[in-house]
Amino acid sequence: MAADARLPQLTAAEAGRLIQRRELSPVELVQALSERIAATEPALRAWTALDGEGALAAARQAERHPWSGPLHGIPFGAKDIYWTTDLPTGALFEPLRDYRAPRDAEAAARLKAAGAILLGKTATTQFALADPAPTTNPWNLGRTPGGSSSGSAAAVASRQVPLALGTQTAGSVIRPAAFCGAVGFKPSFGRVSRRGIFPLAWTLDHAGVLCRSVEDAVLWLDAVQGHDADDPFSAIAPPVDIAAARLESRGAPVLGLVRDFVDRAEPEVRDHLLQTASRLEAMGANIREVVLPVELDQLLATQFIILRSEAAALHAHLLHQQGEHYGPRLKAAVQTGQLIPAAAYLHALRLRRQYARATEQLFAGVQALLLPSVGSLPPDRSGTGESSFQAIWSMFGCPAISLPSGLSHEGLPFGTQLVGARLQDAALLSCAAWCEKALPPMPAPPLP
């Protein structure tokens, strides 16, 4: 008997409430999502591996056990750079195609401990950098879903799964979320352990999530946040106050409209962002224009040097041994990084500290910054889009979230980005929850 076709439309939070009230079985949910994947995956190619039988077994176990929290029985996908013992972790790198990790990545392990069910591994660009994954955009199969969390964003947006793990080193959660019409959340640097995630750049890598509501992002953060002594960059800071993150009764927010990004966006994106700002203002938000204290190109150049230098150090040995398996863009990025002098890298780290202090002034008197998630609509699949609208926030370790905010005249999604001050994740999520209610709901993409 066919599963209820309405179940894949549920967000993680909605499904969790039904499971808590025993109005929905985790088994029914896994079966419905598996049918949705079977119908859409041939066109979408969002997954590198699926574990339908394992997910069903876990769902049956969740059905028998007492309810353990809002993610009890909720299926999730994991970007294919997260270690998982259930399935291989290949990173779109042929020599690792059958690699079995010794343990789950900490973020995946914490999700499982919260009762969530691993459904499969989602496609990524090679080692989460530049060479496109095979995944298509669910709104237009000829357009890119973004990178590098390509499969996670496409799977969530197309209702194959309500929640999927992603990562962001420059823009790899926010950009694919915007291109696919999903919610993408990257918490502050160090909030979520990166242990068991293939690294790209030590001081830039963030764990993140693709989902379909701000509430889902809050539930995910609650499950996975916290210091991890096995991650040397894990933040030693009080956990995010989840009650505060879900509080929408603080009143309308004060938002800083970052003029530098508005002026840099393509006309259709710029016009949409200004219309969105007007919509939020009409709902009561206080919108103030702010300007970056440092030229954006200078900030991006600093981020470029840090990312390329760290990626080169991480990949030097493997590139030497297995260079024939590297995609051309990743290989070029690593080789470029190998040409950057150590003195330039160290100078870039010093500049980052200076620029981070200067940029803190943007958050004075505002709850979040407002800007486009990405400067263009999704381009074709020869690339993954560019990261200039997201990269500096990764460099500074600020929390950021992309909210789907409408469709273009071509029927492609727009994303609106909110950025918070470092370690002020609760304030950002509260602001995002308020803004989400003021924005039009995002329909499902036109897949079968």
Q: Please check whether residue 425 lies inside any domain of the structure.
A: no
* Residue of 122, 23, 31, 114 lying closest to 73 (CA atoms): 114
Q: Dump pLDDT digits (tens) for 141-185.
A: 999 999 999 999 999 999 999 999 999 999 999 999 999 999 999
Average pLDDT over residues 388-417: 98
Question: How many other C-beta atoms can be found within 10 angstroms of the C-beta atom of residue 420?
Answer: 26
Q: What is the pLDDT of residues 345-364, one digit of tens each?
A: 999 999 999 999 999 999 99
Instruction: Give residue-wise pLDDT tens across range 42-57.
Output: 999 999 999 999 999 9
Q: Which CATH number does the domain housing residue 118 bear?
A: 3.90.1300.10
For residue range 9-44, what is the model confidence (pLDDT) as tens digits? 999 999 999 999 999 999 999 999 999 999 999 999
Please report, rounded to a whole number, the percentage of residues in the chain having pLDDT higher than 70. 98
pTM: 0.97
| Phi and psi, residue 326, nearest 5° | -80, 140
Task: Please give the tally of structural domains in the chain.
Answer: 1
- In a domain, residue 119? The reply is yes
Residue 346 maps to a domain: no
Domain-embedded: residue 158? yes
Residue 170 has phi, psi (to 5 degrees) of: -120, -65
366 assigned to some structural domain: no
Residue 167: predicted pLDDT: 98
* pLDDT at position 249 over 50: no
Binned at pLDDT 50, 70 and 90, residue 4 comes out as confident
Q: Over the stretch 83-118, which tens digit does the pLDDT of each residue have? A: 999 999 999 999 999 999 999 999 999 999 999 999
Does residue 189 fall inside a structural domain?
yes
Active-site residue identified among 148, 188, 309, 387? 148
Task: Please confirm, yes or no, whether 79 is among the known catalytic residues.
Answer: yes
Q: Of 129, 187, 125, 130, whose CA–CA distance to 151 is shortest?
A: 125
| Domain carrying residue 37 | 7-245
In a domain, 28, yes or no: yes
Residue 35 lies in a domain: yes
- Percentage of the chain surpassing pLDDT 90? 96
Of 149, 150, 172, 234, catalytic: 172
Which one of the listed residues 34, 79, 188, 394 is annotated catalytic?
A: 79
Asked if 307 and 345 touch (Cβ cutoff 8 Å), the reply is no
Please provide the average confidence, as pLDDT, over all residues in the chain: 96
Q: Which pLDDT tens digit goes with each residue over 305-326?
A: 999 999 999 999 999 999 999 9
